[in-house]
Amino acid sequence: MKNPRGVLILTPFFSPNIGGVESHLDDLVQQLNRHKIKSYVLTYSPLTTKTIYLPKEKRGLCQIIRFMWFGYQLFPKLEKYPILDFLYITPYLLIRSLFWLFSNKNKIDIIHSQGFNAAFIGIILSKIFHKKHLCSTHAVYENINGFSKNITVSVLSKCNQILCLSKASISQLIKWGVKGHKICLYRYWIDLKNFSPGILPKNFTALFVGRLITKKGIKVLLKTAIKLPKIKFIFVGNGPLENYVLNYSNKYNNIEYLGAIPNYKLPEIYHRASIFCIASKYPEGFGRVSMEAVASGLPVIGSNLGAIPEALDKTVSILFKPTIKNFVDTLKYLSKNKNKYESLQKNCRYYAENKFSDKNFNIILNSYQKLLNINWFFDAASDQVYLN
């Protein structure tokens, strides 16, 4: 099976913007380079992270073009309003991508969109330029119903293939009406050389890494920290609640706020902790930071929502409803029960090597190869797939 001449990656978010999707796309580009596949990333300037960025960048065989866009931290405010979110993210990236592809259409074989907004753009581009279109989803969709749900189903159904990060996401899309034969399960992977165990700290320390927004459970963890003054809490990330976290860190000696840290610097932060906390109050897509924590030798405690239970089992985690009481009780238990903590901790590295290696990239590569070798024709009337 042949590899594509080039892959066009469409995404509103890309590094140096900080986030789990951004880290995954860095890994994707790295793997494409290793397999000698050219890639082209069309994206925005950082929308949720204050940082310097290059409008154009080259990484090996990958060319990255970042279009300057307005509204720092506007996206988290619009996420709960799908139509406003769509209008903010999609039209301008569509226009810029359209002009880029007019001049570069012969360089690519596959459009690989990331998320719904990019998928909408990808559908239009794939029709105009006759390219195969693959969409990766990164979340279990929230606040989608009625008209928004119908549009989501319509757009995703027009993709040649959909990659879902979790079984929860697949179940949701099939329940909504997306045909199951178009959907494939994929997994993130991490660089296991960068994320590896270090020497555990002498004092029991809990770590959070993620966006500082309410639905990530920031307030739950801060209030937990107040009730456990003998346990140190480290918070890493940025977002609308940054000042809220900073105020707590200034007031309480056991709370430390480190701000936003690029993914390549996170390994040393994981080495400062004993345990990782994920407090998401919504159905998390997968929880990439929990994968990095486990690879670094840290057991995970926290939210049992969304796809988190798919990413972690009982050998490396304790999952529960993300309440203050549950966090307090679990942290007290593990900080005092050395045997239980060590039984979780010793399983972490093997679990990561088994579940989170770069072999997971093969699912994406196989999808590319499949699309290049098979011409799909879907007859909606008969609900059948035919091969040309």
Query: Token digits for 132?
Result: 């195969």
pLDDT at site 378: 39
pLDDT category at 53 given cuts 50, 70, 90 is: very high
Q: Does residue 83 sit in helix, strand or coil?
A: helix
Q: How many domains does the chain have?
A: 2
Q: Are residues 273 and 311 in the same domain?
A: yes
The CATH number of the domain holding residue 167 is 3.40.50.2000
C-alpha to C-alpha distance for 46 and 17, rounded to whole angstroms: 5
Per residue in 196-252, pLDDT (tens digit) is: 999 999 999 999 999 999 999 999 999 999 999 999 999 999 999 999 999 999 999
pLDDT at site 119: 98
Identity of the residue numbered 352: A
pLDDT at site 144: 80
* 47 within domain boundaries: yes
How far does the chain reach from its first CA to its final CA, in angstroms?
Answer: 17
Q: Closest by alpha carbon to 210, among 303, 74, 106?
A: 303
Q: Is residue 354 predicted with pLDDT exceeding 90?
A: yes
DSSP state at residue 51 = -
Neighbours of 21 (CB within 10 A): 22
Residue 226 makes CB contacts below 8 A (sequence gap 6+) with: 248, 252
Provide the residue range defining the domain that includes 238. Answer: 205-355
Q: Out of 125-129, 210-214, 383-387, pick the least confident.
A: 383-387
Q: Is residue 290 predicted with pLDDT exceeding 90?
A: yes
Beta bridge partners of 134: 112, 161
pTM over 0.75: yes
pLDDT at site 1: 60
What's the angle, vertex CA 78, arms to CA 278 and CA 55, rounded to 5?
90
* 195 within domain boundaries: no
pLDDT category at 186 given cuts 50, 70, 90 is: very high
Q: Are residues 13 and 88 in the same domain?
A: yes
pLDDT at site 374: 53
Q: Are residues 51 and 142 in the same domain?
A: yes
Proportion of the chain above pLDDT 90, given as a percent: 86
Per residue in 299-326, pLDDT (tens digit) is: 999 999 988 999 999 999 999 999 999 9
* 199 within domain boundaries: no
Q: Are residues 26 and 146 in the same domain?
A: yes
Query: Token digits for 150?
Result: 């119908």
pLDDT category at 145 given cuts 50, 70, 90 is: confident
Q: Are residues 68 and 211 in the same domain?
A: no
Q: Are residues 366 and 231 in the same domain?
A: no
